[in-house]
Structure formats: structure tokens, C-alpha cells
Chain A
Amino acid sequence: MEFPNDLLYTKDHEWARVLGDEAVIGITDHAQDSLGEVVYVELPKTGRTLAPHETFGVVESIKAVSDLYSPMAGTVLEANAAAASDPGMINRSPHGDGWLIRLKLTDRAALSTLMNAEDYKKYVESLK
């Protein structure tokens, strides 16, 4: 299980890679492992504004549907079309090519509520 150090994490198992006033968001390795094979992903349109913890889409495995929650406030700059057309990418590379959306941050306040890799790893272990 991977917990990259350069990411911030939510309790809903999304990650965010913040660079300046932009962030890339995806689901964690733990999330994709729990879901199993991802067969469908529904992502928001460019320009949509998201509040912290707002639902921005879904990922579906063969058996289940899971909502995706935005870790922070922002405007959608891009959704990952490659992951939408080949959802298995989310399983193969959850922190890389399987990213989901790119956001323009509108409020950095929620950032402080996110976990670092070490805390997220502890959190995941506490769920077992």
C-alpha cells in the first residue's frame, strides 16, 4: 500500500497534490484496493465550483457505487478524460495517471483540515 509523502489526504480517501493555487485530486491506493476493479467513473464538467466535502462525481466498481468528495474549495479546471475512458487506470495508478480532477483553489482554509501521509496511514490502519 502506497502513501506518498507529497499528498494531503481526506477521511473519505481522496488525495490532493497542491501546487501553488492549483490542486490535483484522486482516490488513494487504499480506496482503489477496497473498491476493487473500477469499471466506471463520472467526473464534473470544467468550470464547476466545488465546496469542501461537496460530491463531485462517483467511482463504480463491479459491485458498488462510491461518491467522490472534494477535499477543498475550488473551480474545476480539468477532469481526467483518460481515466474516464479507461477506469482501470485508477486501480493501476491511483496517485499518478489515475488522477481525477484538477482544481483552481478558491479558498485555502480547508487545507489545514487535511491529513499528511503519516496521519492518513495511521487512520487507514485504525480502520482495520
Chain B
Amino acid sequence: MAKRTALYQEHLNLKGKMVEFAGWEMPVQYSEGLAAEHEACRNSIGLFDVSHMGEVLVRGERALEFLNSLVTNNVAKIADNQAQYTVMCYDDGGCVDDLIIHRVNEREFFICVNASNTEKDFEWIKSHAPAGVSVEDVSRQYTQIAIQGRHAMKLLQKLTDIKTDTKLDEIKYYWFRKGRVLGEPAVIARTGYTGEDGFEIYVRWDSGPKIWNALIKEGAPLGIKACGLGARDTLRTEMKYPLYGHEIDRGLNPIEAGLGWAVKLDKPDFTGKKALVAIKEANLNRALVGLRSLGRAIPRQGYALERGGASAGIVTSGTFSPSLKCGIAIAYVDRAHSEIGTRVDVIVRDQRAEHEVVETPFYKRPY
């Protein structure tokens, strides 16, 4: 039996098409369809129920030191109320998951993890925790809502009393504050998975419907639309943001996935460091690139790449891009074929479909 978020009834009210994803019953799209939702997020506001994402609380005197030994980015670099994107690796450099770590203070960290990996991540973190560090899966305590788009701040500001001492625009990208939304306690983070400005808020599970409905109502004059998992995926693909099971996975490492910026090999030892150093020194032979379809064909995950008839790589994510109005893909290619402007063929149902390696993100917001 799939789990339901606190917003399940809200999705039904909005005629959401419910599908099972990572053990959760989630809306893949609502009545107006994916393209309209994608467009609303790009041009006004998209509202997402992301309560299926997991949250793990790590606390204790040595919490910072412990987390820093487990993830690739340097957790020591962030201040209280700052967030950080990072990867968590196995000894061999493969990915356990990618995460966002929120530093509440030196002894308390609030971590957002992928829905499909919540249990695995929790067990992994817990099994490595030293005495004196507590690891708690608090996923079922939070409704997480993403408010994304150029008018997101204007909307959320209306519902939050952070304005009494802080304006939302004082929360910079990848920072957060504890505040209140509609009087309910909330973690308000300036993060997102769409490429737009916006926030991800974590509120008490039961306060989810009240806050969601207020956002829908107050956002209506601004053109807000509830967005399903379909739009979430096309939006993130246009930004070339990685997704576990696609660009990163058990057998894929963050260096080749283009996440070297979040892998700090000069910090103290961490799980996977030795393997990642070796991978980096071995002169990478593949790169993760963006492809744009030059015809009408749409590349999809798992499709093979060829250049001059020889194997050249594989598509990890592919979709029709609602913003660009053509097929786009994220793909691993042999480094020799990774330069911008290189033409490669994607094999679509036994036919060669011409694609070009292009600059990413595919979409750049105009504000």
C-alpha cells in the first residue's frame, strides 16, 4: 500500500492524476496538464508537494565532524542557517544519494534526502554514527512544499511573519530561516529543483493542507498552478540537475556526473575519498553533457549514443522540453565527443536521430 502525503485530498480536489512513485501515491500532473504546469512555474509560480522527500535529523556534539566524514562537500564551510548540496558516497565512489544539508547549528543538522532513498540513507547514516551522535528519521513529521517561480517570494511573503524581523529576500540562495507560515512553525529554505527563484518550506505534517490551500488561493491572482512530478522532472532536466537513478547511482560517481564542485578532495578523510581521488587522477573518460535534438525525435533514458557509427555513450534523462519545444537529453558521452557543438546520433527505435552537444543549463531564467 503506497503512502499518502498530508496533501493527498488536495491533489484529488485539484484532479491530480495519482501514480505510485518511490512508495508514495503522488500527482504526476493535474487537470491542465504538464505543459501548462511547466509554463506556470517558468513564468509565475509552480507549487509542488514534495512531502515524499525524506528528512533526517543529525544531532550531537560531534555531528559536524561526523557528517563531514560521510559526505563529499565540506560541511565545515557552512554557517548556522546555511544549506549545502552534497553527495554521499560508498567506499568505491558510487553514490548513496545526493542531499541538502541544513545547518541549524554546529550540533544540529537537518538533511533532505530523496524519497526513493530515505530508508537506505537513514540506515547508512545511522550505521556510521559514533556514540553521542543521534540520527533520527523525521520524514513523517514534515510536509514539504516547494514554491517556485519569479513571484514565489511575493506570494510567500504574504503568508509569513518573518517580515516582522526579516524579509524573505534577506534569505539568500541556499540559506534558510526558522519562521512561521500562517502562524505555523516552518523551516523556510531558499532552495529548489526547477531553476527558478523560490523556496522549499518544511512545516508540521498536519499543517500542510491549510498552508497549501492558502498558497493556492493567494497565488491565484499571480497565476500559480499546482505542479506534479511530470513538471518537476521536465523543469529539473532543463537545468541538467541530476536525479538519483539517472545521472547518479550506486554505480556512478559524482566526479563524472559533473558534481566535482561538490566534492572537496582537500578536506579531511571521508567515505569514498580514496576512490574519488583515483577516479579524478585516472583522467576521466566520460562526461555528462546536454544534448539537443536537431529533428523531431525525443531522446529517452537508456537510449544509446553513436558517433560515426561507433558507440559513444548513453542517455540518462530525456524528454520533450516544454521551454525549448524540442527533445533534450542529459547523457554520458566519451570525453572525445563532449565538446559543445559536437554532433552525435541518439538511437531512437533503431533509427539514428541527430543531436548536438549544447551548453547547459538548457534553460536560463531571464530575471
Contacts and interface: CB of A to CB of B under 8 A. Distances in A.
Interface of A: 36-37, 39-40, 42, 58, 60-63, 65
B190 interface: no
A63 B349 contact: no
A60 B349 CA distance: 13
B300 A37 contact: no
Contacts of A42: 349
Interface stretch (B28-36, B75-83, B284-292): B28-36
A29 B29 CA distance: 18
Contacts of A39: 298, 320
Contact of B34 (A40, A60, A63): A63
A39 B296 CA distance: 9
Contacts of B230: 36, 62-63
B349 A62 contact: no
In the complex, the 6 A-B pairs of residues with the closest C-beta atoms, listed nearest first: A39-B320, A62-B320, A37-B35, A62-B34, A63-B230, A36-B33
Interface string B211-246: 000000000000000000010011000000000000
Dominant SS at the B interface? mixed
Interface residues of B, number: 17
A56 to B, nearest CB: 12
A36 to B, nearest CB: 5
B297 interface: yes
Contact of B35 (A40, A60, A62, A65): A62
Interface string B146-170: 0000000000000000000000000
A60 B322 CA distance: 13
A63 B17 CA distance: 14
B29 A60 contact: no
Nearest to B322: A62
Interface of B: 28-29, 33-35, 230, 233-234, 296-298, 300, 319-320, 322, 327, 349
Given A36-B34, A40-B320, A62 B297 contact: no
A25 B43 CA distance: 38
Given A40-B320, A42-B349, A62-B234, 15 more contacts: A36-B29, A36-B33, A36-B230, A37-B33, A37-B35, A39-B298, A40-B297, A40-B298, A40-B327, A58-B349, A61-B320, A62-B320, A63-B34, A63-B319, A65-B298
B48 to A, nearest CB: 16
Nearest to B231: A62
Contacts of A36: 29, 33-35, 230
Nearest to A91: B33
A42 B35 CA distance: 21
27 contacts: A36-B29, A36-B33, A36-B34, A36-B35, A37-B33, A37-B34, A37-B35, A39-B298, A40-B296, A40-B297, A40-B298, A40-B320, A40-B327, A42-B349, A58-B349, A60-B298, A61-B34, A61-B320, A62-B35, A62-B230, A62-B234, A62-B319, A63-B28, A63-B230, A63-B234, A65-B298, A65-B300
B325 to A, nearest CB: 9
Nearest to B300: A65
A115 B252 CA distance: 48
Contacts of A40: 296-298, 320, 327
Nearest to A84: B296
A73 B33 CA distance: 35
A62 B232 CA distance: 12
A56 B28 CA distance: 28
A105 B296 CA distance: 31
Contacts of B34: 36-37, 61-63
A110 to B, nearest CB: 25
A42 B34 CA distance: 21
B243 to A, nearest CB: 13
